[in-house]
C-alpha cells in the first residue's frame, strides 16, 4: 500500500477506488474497510477459558505484559508456554502486526513519517544532530509538517492512535512500554509548541526506543523538540555573562529521567548539567524550519564543568550533551531508579527489594538494554510468586483497554471512548507535570463510579463507535461460566456467580466487579 | 461536626473553590467604575456610569447598577474586589489570553488542575472536581479526575439492568481494605445525590436564581456543596462579554445574570459560604476610552471579584493609581487614554485564595511555577 491519505483524503480515495463519483455509501464503506477500518479481530479457534480458581502463571504473564487478555489468549499462552510468550513479546519486530499498522496508517495521516518534506534537508555538516548522533539526522525536516495540522487534530489523533494500538496490537509488551516511557518522559502537549511537536516525540523518541537501549531513548528525548519546549531547554542559554542557565530540564533529567530524587546529586550537579546543555534550542513556529532542533555555539557555556564528580573539559561545545548523558546513563542510581519503577509497574506498588536489585543489575550489565532488563525482571522469583498475582490495581487506561480486549470489542477509539478516559482522569497526553501519571493504586481508587458506568455503557453498546456482542461471545465461549472465567482470568467465586445471575447485568457486572479492577 | 468530616475520615472540614470565567474580556470599568475619577467620565462621555447611577462602594468606586444584587454581600463583608487585575502578557487575543491565564503562564496544564494535584489522594473523590459545561476548561487540565457535567443527573450508576447497582454494592461490600472503603464512599455520595434528585430542589430562602444557564449551573453546584459530596473545585463560565459595539445593553444583560446568579448562590449556600470561595475573573479588560461605536476595545486590566468565607470584603484591594493618562498603558503612538494597566497580577490575587483553601508555599510554587509570587496582602484577615 503506497498511497497515503496525504495524497488522497479519505472520501476522495474511497471514491476513486469505488470507481468515480457515482459511488454509493456502501461502496465507500467497502473501500474504507479495504483500507483497514478498525474491526474486532477474528476470534481464534481455541477458546478454552482459564480453569483455575486463582490466577495461574500464563494468566499472570498476560495480565502484566499486556493490556489484558483477549478471548483465547490464555489457551494460546498455556499451549506455547508463558516463557516462550515472554520471549516473543521481548522481540516485537518479529511479531506480525500488520493488521494494527494498517489501521493506524489509514486512520492517522498526521502520524505518518513523511516520505518527502517541503523543506530541503539540512546539510549534514551543519546539522548538530547528524554530527553527534547520525541516526537522528533530518529530524528537523521531519517535524515541520506537523504545524500544518490544527493542534486539536494532532492531540485527538495521537490519543486515538494510542488507544487503538493498545487494543489491537499484537506487540502488547511494546505498547505497555510505550505507556511506561510516555509517563517517564512525560510531556504535556498543552504547553506552547509541544501542541504540534509531541506527535514527533511519540514517534521519534518513545516508540522508536521503547524496547531498545535506554541510552538512545534518553538522547532522543534530550533533543526532542517537544521536550525542548516542555521543560524550557530552548531558553537555556549563556550568551551574555549575566545569563543564568535555565535549570528546568536539567533538574528533571536528574530527578525523574535518570538518577531519581534520592540519586545522590546536588544542586551544583543540576547547575553543571544545565550548563552542559546551554545552546540547544528549537525554532519556534514564527520562523522558517519551525520545530528544527539547533545547537547555537554562541549560546553555549563552553567552560569546564564537573558533573557527579566527573570532569568535563572546556571546549567540547555540542559534545557536552553526549558526555553528560553518558555519565547519567552509567550511574548506578539510574539503574536502581529505573529498576524500581519497572518493578513497581510489573510486580507490585511496593516493589520487593530483591527483584529491584536483580533488575538493576541486569540493566547495568547489559549497558541499559531494555529487553535484557525486562527479561531479568520477568525471571525473578518475585515476578513469578503467586502472592503478587491479581494484586496490581489497573490504572484507568489499562482498565478500559482490558475491558475492550476481554469483550472482543470493535472500536474506532473515537471521542465517546476518549470521553470515558477523560472522566476517569487517565486520557493519554493530558498529564501536566513532568512526573507522568502516577502508577500506584492510591491515586486511582476514587474513580470507581466512572469505571462502573463505563462497564455498563460498554456492555449495553451505548458508546458510539464501539460495539460488543456479549451474547454471541458467550455462545462462542460455551456459556456463562466460560464468559466469566475468560473475563476474570480465573473461575468465578460463588459470590460472583450469584451476583452475575441475580443482576442480569452480565458483562457489565463482570467488568465493573472488584476482581476485574486488578491485574 | 459536619457529615463531611465523617466521609473523609480526617476530621477536616472540606472547602470548595468555584471559579467563574467571564469569557470575552469583561469591561472592568463598567462593572466597577471609578466614578469619582474625572478622567473616567472624560474618557467615556457616553458610556461612563454616572456617580448617581452606580451603587456606591467607597470613595473611589461604584458598582454597575445591574450588579446591585451584590450590594448585600459587599455590605456584609463577603465580597472583595481587586481592580486593574490581569496578566503581564501583552496579548490582546482572547484565545491566547484565556489560555495563558488558565494555564497560569506558559506552563503545561491549568492552574486549578495543578493545585488539585497537590491535594492529598484521599481528597480526590469521584466528585472532587466538577466543570459545569460541555468541555473541560483549560484551567482544569491536569486535574486528577475532573467531571464535566451539565446536570446532577449524570451522577448516577448507569446501566439498564435494574439490579446492576445493588449487586455491585454486594460484591464491593465483601472487599476489604481501601478499595472497599472507596466503594462505600462512592455509594454513600450517590445515595445523597439520589435523595436530592428525588426531592424537588428548593433553594434556601431568599435565593432567587435566574432562569439562565449560569444560574442553573450555580444552583447545581450549590446542591453538590450542600450534599457534602467532597467537591474541592468547580468551574463555570459566563461568556459573551466582547463588547465592541453598543455595549450598554450587552453589559447590562450579562451583569444582571452575573449578579443574580452570584447573589442567589451566596444566599443558597447560607452558612456553607463560610467554607466556599467564588472567584470571578476575565482574560483582560477593555480600553479606557469608549470607541465611536458606543463600545470598547481590547485592553489590559479588569476587575476580579472574590466572594466567600474569610475574605476581607467590603473593600477594593490591591494597587490602584487612577486613570490620569500619564499613568496608563500606551499602545504605539495612540493619543488619548490608552489602557488600564495591570497593577495586580492575577496570580498574586489567586495565591491568598489558594492559601485559604489549604495551599502552602510549596504547593503555590507548583501551581504558579516560574512566577515570583507576591501574594496580595490583606485579602484575608
Write the DSSP string, A312-362: E-TT-TTHHHHHHHHHHHHSHHHHHHHHHHHHHHHT-SS--HHHHHHHHHH
Residue-range definition of the domain harbouring residue B231? 3-154+210-367
Give the up-direction half-sphere exposure of residue B206: CA atoms within 13 A in the CB hemisphere: 9
Q: Answer whether residue B261 is part of any domain.
A: yes
Number of structural domains found in chain B: 1
Q: Which residue of B has its CA nearest to A434?
A: B108
Q: Closest CB to A505: pick one of B147, B161, B179.
A: B161
Please write the tens of the pLDDT for every residue from B77-126: 999 999 999 999 988 888 889 989 999 998 888 999 999 999 987 777 77
Select the residue from A151, A228, A452, A513 to test the B interface by mutation, using most B Cβ atoms within 10 A.
Answer: A452
State the pairing for strand pair B16-23/B233-239.
Answer: parallel
Contacts of A456 in chain B (CB under 8 A): 157-161, 164
Q: Which residue of B has its CA nearest to A461?
A: B159
Q: Which three cell numbers stand for residue A426?
A: 487517565
Give A 149-188 residues with CB within 8 A of chain B.
187-188
Q: Give yes or no for B191 touching A (CB within 8 A).
A: no
Q: Give yes or no for A270 touching B (CB within 8 A).
A: no
Output helix, strand, coil percentages for chain A, rounded to the nearest 5. Answer: 60, 5, 40
B171 vs A460: CB contact, 8 Å cut-off? no
A503 vs B164: CB contact, 8 Å cut-off? yes
Give A 460-479 residues with CB within 8 A of chain B.
460, 462
Q: Give yes or no for B138 touching A (CB within 8 A).
A: yes
Q: Closest CB to A447: pick one of B145, B157, B172.
A: B145
Output the CA torsion sign for A60, A61, A66, A68: negative
Q: Give yes or no for B316 touching A (CB within 8 A).
A: no
State the pairing for strand pair B62-63/B315-317.
Answer: unpaired
Do A199 and A154 form a contact (C-beta atoms < 8 A)? yes
Give A 194-223 residues with CB within 8 A of chain B.
194
Q: Give yes or no for B170 touching A (CB within 8 A).
A: yes
What does the pLDDT read at residue A141?
58
Q: Which residue of B has its CA nearest to A503?
A: B163
B126 vs A450: CB contact, 8 Å cut-off? yes
**pLDDT tens by residue, chain A, 519 residues:** 334 433 333 333 433 343 344 445 554 454 444 444 556 778 999 999 999 999 999 999 999 999 999 999 999 999 999 999 999 999 999 999 999 999 998 889 888 766 544 445 566 677 777 777 776 665 555 788 899 899 999 999 999 999 999 999 999 999 999 999 999 999 999 888 999 999 999 999 999 999 999 999 999 999 999 999 999 999 999 988 888 888 889 999 999 999 999 899 998 999 999 999 999 999 988 888 889 999 999 999 999 999 999 999 999 999 999 999 999 999 999 999 999 999 999 999 999 999 999 999 999 999 999 999 999 999 999 999 999 999 999 999 999 999 999 999 999 999 999 999 988 889 999 988 898 999 999 888 878 999 999 999 999 999 999 999 999 999 999 999 999 999 999 999 999 999 999 988 899 999 999 999 999
Output the CA torsion sign for A11, A14, A20, A26: negative
Contacts of A496 in chain B (CB under 8 A): 171
Beta bridge partners of A295: A280
Give B 93-122 residues with CB within 8 A of chain A.
103, 106-110, 113-114, 117, 121
Give B 358-377 residues with CB within 8 A of chain A.
366
Global pTM value: 0.81
CA distance A332 to chain B (A): 29
Determine the Cα angle at A260 with ends A130 and A334, to 5°. Answer: 55
Greater model confidence, B202 or B356: B356
Q: Closest CB to A495: pick one of B125, B143, B174.
A: B174
Q: Give yes or no for B52 touching A (CB within 8 A).
A: no
Q: Give yes or no for A501 touching B (CB within 8 A).
A: no
Q: Give yes or no for B75 touching A (CB within 8 A).
A: no
Closest CA to A356 of A437, A260, A269: A260
Output helix, strand, coil percentages for chain B, rounded to the nearest 5. Answer: 40, 15, 45
Contacts of B164 in chain A (CB under 8 A): 456, 503, 505, 508-509, 512
Give the up-direction half-sphere exposure of residue B148: CA atoms within 13 A in the CB hemisphere: 16
Contacts of B125 in chain A (CB under 8 A): 446
Q: Closest CB to A505: pick one of B144, B159, B172.
A: B159
Greater model confidence, B147 or A126: B147
Is residue B9 pLDDT above 80, yes or no? no
State the pairing for strand pair B62-63/B55-56.
Answer: antiparallel
The DSSP letter of residue A281 is E
What does the pLDDT read at residue A31?
45
CA distance B123 to chain A (A): 9
Cα distance between residue B112 and residue B100, in whole Å: 13
A503 vs B174: CB contact, 8 Å cut-off? no
Element (H, E) at B30: helix B28-31
| CA B162 to each of CA A270, A484, A502, B166, B288: distance values in angstroms, whole numbers, following the listed order | 59, 20, 10, 8, 61
Is residue B356 pLDDT above 60, yes or no? yes
Closest CA to A507 of A491, A483, A485, A489: A483
Please write the tens of the pLDDT for every residue from B242-300: 998 889 999 999 999 999 999 999 999 999 999 999 999 999 999 999 988 899 988 99
Q: Give yes or no for B347 touching A (CB within 8 A).
A: no
Closest CA to A416 of A199, A158, A151, A156: A156
What does the pLDDT read at residue A15?
38
Contacts of B160 in chain A (CB under 8 A): 456, 460
Q: Answer whether residue B175 is part of any domain.
A: no
Contacts of B148 in chain A (CB under 8 A): 422-423
What does the pLDDT read at residue A135?
63
Q: Which residues, including other chains, have CB under 8 Å from residue B95's CB and lie 6 or more apart?
A: none
Query: How far is C-alpha A164 from the chain's CA centre?
Result: 12
Contacts of B147 in chain A (CB under 8 A): 423, 450
Q: Answer whether residue B44 is part of any domain.
A: yes
| CA A191 to each of CA A388, A434, B71, B102, B212: distance values in angstroms, whole numbers, following the listed order | 39, 12, 40, 12, 34
Mean pLDDT, residues B201-216 taken together: 88
What does the pLDDT read at residue A25?
53
Give the DSSP letter string of A189-236: TTSTTHHHHHHHHIIIIIHHHTTSBHHHHHHHHHT-HHHHHHT-GGG-
CA distance A477 to chain B (A): 23
Select the residue from A236, A438, A451, A514 to test the B interface by mutation, using most B Cβ atoms within 10 A.
Answer: A514
Q: Which residues, including other chains, have CB under 8 Å from residue B336's CB and lie 6 or more apart?
A: B43, B289, B325
CA distance B332 to chain A (A): 22
Q: Closest CB to A446: pick one of B138, B145, B155.
A: B145
Closest CA to A299 of A267, A322, A268, A276: A276
The domain that holds B125 is classified in CATH as: 3.40.720
Q: Closest CB to B168: pick one of A425, A504, A509.
A: A509
Contacts of A462 in chain B (CB under 8 A): 158
Q: Closest CB to B175: pick one of A431, A455, A514.
A: A514
Look at phi and psi of residue A275 and say left if phi exceeds 0, alpha if psi is from -120 to 50, else beta: alpha
CA distance B240 to chain A (A): 23
Q: Which residue of A has its CA nearest to B110?
A: A432
CA distance B317 to chain A (A): 32
Select the residue from A155, A432, A450, A455 to test the B interface by mutation, using most B Cβ atoms within 10 A.
Answer: A432
Contacts of B112 in chain A (CB under 8 A): none
B158 vs A453: CB contact, 8 Å cut-off? yes
Q: Which residue of B has its CA nearest to A424?
A: B145
State chain B's mean pLDDT as an integer: 90
B160 vs A460: CB contact, 8 Å cut-off? yes
B182 vs A450: CB contact, 8 Å cut-off? no
Please write the tens of the pLDDT for every residue from B10-32: 334 689 999 999 999 999 999 99
A433 vs B107: CB contact, 8 Å cut-off? no
Mean pLDDT, residues B345-354 taken together: 98
Amino acid at each position: 500500500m503506497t498511497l497515503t491519505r496525504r495524497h488522497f483524503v479519505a472520501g476522495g480515495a474511497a471514491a476513486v477506488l469505488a470507481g468515480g463519483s457515482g459511488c454509493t455509501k456502501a461502496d465507500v464503506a467497502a473501500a474504507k474497510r479495504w483500507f483497514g477500518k478498525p474491526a474486532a479481530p477474528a476470534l481464534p479457534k481455541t477458546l478454552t477459558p482459564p480453569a483455575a480458581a486463582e490466577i495461574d502463571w500464563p494468566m499472570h504473564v498476560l495480565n502484566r505484559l499486556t493490556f489484558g487478555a483477549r478471548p483465547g489468549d490464555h489457551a494460546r499462552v498455556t499451549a506455547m508456554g508463558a516463557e516462550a510468550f515472554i520471549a516473543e513479546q521481548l522481540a516485537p519486530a518479529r511479531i506480525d502486526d500488520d493488521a494494527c499498522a494498517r489501521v493506524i496508517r489509514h486512520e492517522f495521516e498526521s502520524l505518518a513519517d513523511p516520505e518527502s518534506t517541503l523543506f530541503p534537508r539540512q546539510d549534514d555538516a551543519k546539522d548538530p544532530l547528524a554530527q553527534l548522533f547520525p541516526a537522528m539526522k533530518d529530524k528537523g525536516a521531519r517535524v515541520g509538517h506537523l504545524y500544518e495540522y490544527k493542534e486539536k487534530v494532532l492531540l485527538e489523533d495521537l490519543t486515538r492512535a494510542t488507544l487503538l494500538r493498545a487494543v489491537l496490537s499484537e506487540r502488547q509488551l511494546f505498547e505497555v512500554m510505550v505507556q511506561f516511557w510516555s509517563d517517564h518522559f512525560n510531556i504535556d502537549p498543552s504547553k506552547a509548541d509541544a501542541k504540534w511537536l509531541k506527535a514527533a516525540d511519540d514517534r521519534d523518541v518513545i516508540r522508536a526506543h521503547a524496547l531498545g537501549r535506554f541510552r538512545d531513548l534518553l538522547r532522543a528525548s534530550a533533543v526532542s523538540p517537544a521536550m525542548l519546549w516542555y521543560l524550557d531547554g530552548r531558553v537555556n542559554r549563556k550568551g551574555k555573562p549575566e545569563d543564568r542557565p535555565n535549570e528546568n530540564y536539567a533538574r528533571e533529567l536528574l530527578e525523574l529521567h535518570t538518577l531519581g530524587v534520592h540519586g545522590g546529586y546536588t544542586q551544583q550537579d543540576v547547575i553543571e548539567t544545565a550548563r552542559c546543555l546551554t545552546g540547544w534550542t528549537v525554532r519556534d513556529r514564527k520562523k522558517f524550519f519551525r520545530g528544527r532542533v539547533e545547537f547555537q555555539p554562541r549560546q553555549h557555556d563552553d567552560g569546564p564543568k564537573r558533573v557527579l564528580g566527573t570532569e568535563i573539559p572546556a571546549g567540547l561545545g555540542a559534545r557536552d550533551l553526549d558526555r553528560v548523558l553518558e555519565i547519567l546513563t552509567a550511574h548506578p542510581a539510574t539503574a536502581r531508579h529505573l529498576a524500581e519503577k519497572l518493578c513497581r509497574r510489573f510486580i507490585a506498588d511496593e516493589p520487593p527489594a530483591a527483584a529491584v536489585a536483580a533488575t538493576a543489575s541486569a540493566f547495568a550489565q547489559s549497558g541499559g538494554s531494555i529487553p535484557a532488563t525486562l527479561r531479568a525482571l520477568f525471571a525473578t522469583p518475585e515476578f513469578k510468586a503467586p502472592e503478587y498475582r491479581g494484586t496490581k490495581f489497573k490504572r484507568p487506561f489499562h482498565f478500559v483497554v482490558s475491558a475492550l480486549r476481554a469483550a472482543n470489542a470493535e472500536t474506532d477509539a473515537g471521542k465517546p471512548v476518549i470521553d470515558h478516559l477523560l472522566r476517569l482522569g487517565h486520557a493519554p497526553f493530558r498529564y501536566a507535570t513532568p512526573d507522568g501519571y502516577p502508577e500506584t493504586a492510591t491515586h486511582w481508587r476514587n474513580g470507581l463510579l466512572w469505571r462502573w458506568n463505563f462497564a455498563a455503557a460498554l456492555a449495553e453498546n451505548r458508546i458510539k463507535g464501539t460495539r460488543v456482542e456479549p451474547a454471541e461471545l458467550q455462545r462462542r465461549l460455551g456459556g456463562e461460566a466460560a464468559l466469566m472465567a475468560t473475563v476474570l482470568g480465573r473461575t468465578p467465586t460463588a459470590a460472583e456467580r450469584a451476583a452475575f445471575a441475580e443482576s442480569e447485568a452480565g458483562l457489565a457486572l463482570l467488568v465493573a466487579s472488584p476482581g476485574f479492577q486488578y491485574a | 461536626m459536619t457529615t463531611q468530616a465523617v466521609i473523609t475520615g480526617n476530621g477536616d472540614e472540606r472547602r470548595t473553590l468555584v471559579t467563574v470565567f467571564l469569557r470575552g474580556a469583561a469591561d472592568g470599568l463598567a462593572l466597577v467604575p471609578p466614578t469619582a475619577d474625572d478622567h473616567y467620565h472624560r474618557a467615556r462621555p457616553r458610556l461612563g456610569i454616572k456617580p448617581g447611577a452606580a451603587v456606591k462602594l467607597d470613595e473611589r468606586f461604584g458598582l454597575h447598577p445591574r450588579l446591585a444584587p451584590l450590594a448585600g454581600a459587599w455590605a456584609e463583608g463577603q465580597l472583595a474586589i481587586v481592580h486593574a487585575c490581569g496578566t503581564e502578557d501583552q496579548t490582546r487575543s482572547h484565545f491566547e489570553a484565556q489560555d495563558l491565564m488558565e494555564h497560569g503562564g506558559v506552563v503545561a496544564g491549568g492552574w486549578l488542575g495543578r493545585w488539585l494535584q497537590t491535594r492529598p489522594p484521599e481528597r480526590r473523590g469521584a466528585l472532587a472536581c466538577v466543570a459545569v459545561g460541555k468541555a473541560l476548561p483549560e484551567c482544569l487540565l491536569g486535574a486528577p479526575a475532573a467531571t464535566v457535567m451539565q446536570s446532577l443527573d449524570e451522577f448516577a450508576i448507569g446501566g439498564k439492568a435494574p439490579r446492576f447497582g445493588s449487586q455491585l454494592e454486594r460484591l464491593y461490600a465483601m472487599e476489604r481494605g481501601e478499595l472497599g472503603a472507596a466503594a462505600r464512599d462512592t455509594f454513600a455520595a450517590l445515595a445523597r445525590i439520589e435523595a436530592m434528585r428525588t426531592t424537588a430542589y428548593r433553594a434556601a430562602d431568599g435565593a432567587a436564581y435566574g432562569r439562565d444557564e449560569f444560574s442553573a449551573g450555580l444552583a447545581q453546584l450549590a446542591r453538590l456543596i450542600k450534599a457534602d459530596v467532597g467537591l474541592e473545585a468547580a468551574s463555570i463560565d459566563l461568556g459573551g462579554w466582547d463588547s465592541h459595539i453598543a455595549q450598554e445593553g450587552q453589559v447590562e444583560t450579562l451583569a444582571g445574570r452575573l449578579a443574580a446568579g452570584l447573589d442567589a448562590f451566596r444566599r443558597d449556600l447560607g452558612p456553607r459560604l463560610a467554607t466556599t470561595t467564588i472567584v470571578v475573573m476575565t482574560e483582560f479588560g477593555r480600553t479606557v476610552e469608549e470607541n465611536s461605536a458606543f463600545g470598547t476595545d481590547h485592553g489590559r486590566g479588569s476587575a476580579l471579584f472574590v466572594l466567600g468565607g474569610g475574605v476581607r470584603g467590603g473593600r477594593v484591594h490591591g494597587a490602584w493609581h487612577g486613570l490620569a493618562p500619564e499613568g496608563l498603558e500606551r499602545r504605539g503612538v495612540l493619543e488619548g487614554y490608552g489602557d488600564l494597566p495591570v497593577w495586580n497580577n492575577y496570580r498574586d490575587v489567586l495565591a491568598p485564595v489558594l492559601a485559604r483553601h489549604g495551599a502552602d508555599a510549596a504547593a503555590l510554587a507548583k501551581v504558579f511555577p516560574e512566577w515570583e509570587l507576591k501574594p496580595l496582602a490583606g485579602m484575608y484577615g
